[in-house]
């Protein structure tokens, strides 16, 4: 069993889920659905593959609002 790292964000009326280990993404109408769909997509991605995915240690995801004035 492998562990995947992912991020989820809202885009319009959907939640987008992106795997950080491999370039696989999915979406859903709820956060749980987006994660469930991502897991299924990652499993399908590796169905016929024999390679390992990139292991990611500690992951920090954040955001910051900036006030930028035009020059």
Band of residue 54 on the pLDDT scale cut at 50, 70, 90: low
pLDDT value at position 21?
84
φ, ψ of residue 10 in degrees (nearest 5): -95, 135
More confident: 57 or 22: 22
Domain coordinates of the chain in residue numbers?
Answer: 1-60
pLDDT digits (tens, 9 = 90+) for 16-52: 999 988 899 999 999 999 999 999 998 888 877 655 5
User: Rounded to an integer, what distance in angstroms lies between the CA atom of residue 7 and that of residue 35?
Assistant: 9
Band of residue 65 on the pLDDT scale cut at 50, 70, 90: low
Contact, 27 vs 12, CB < 8 A?
no
The answer as to CATH 1.20.950 being correct for domain 1-60 is no
């Amino acid at each position: 069993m492998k562990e995947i790292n992912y991020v989820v964000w809202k885009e319009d009326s959907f939640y987008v889920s992106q795997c950080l280990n491999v370039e696989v993404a999915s979406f859903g109408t709820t956060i749980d659905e987006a994660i469930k769909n991502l897991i299924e997509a990652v499993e399908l991605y590796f169905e016929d593959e024999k390679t390992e995915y990139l292991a990611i240690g500690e992951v920090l995801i954040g955001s910051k609002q900036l006030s930028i004035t035009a020059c």
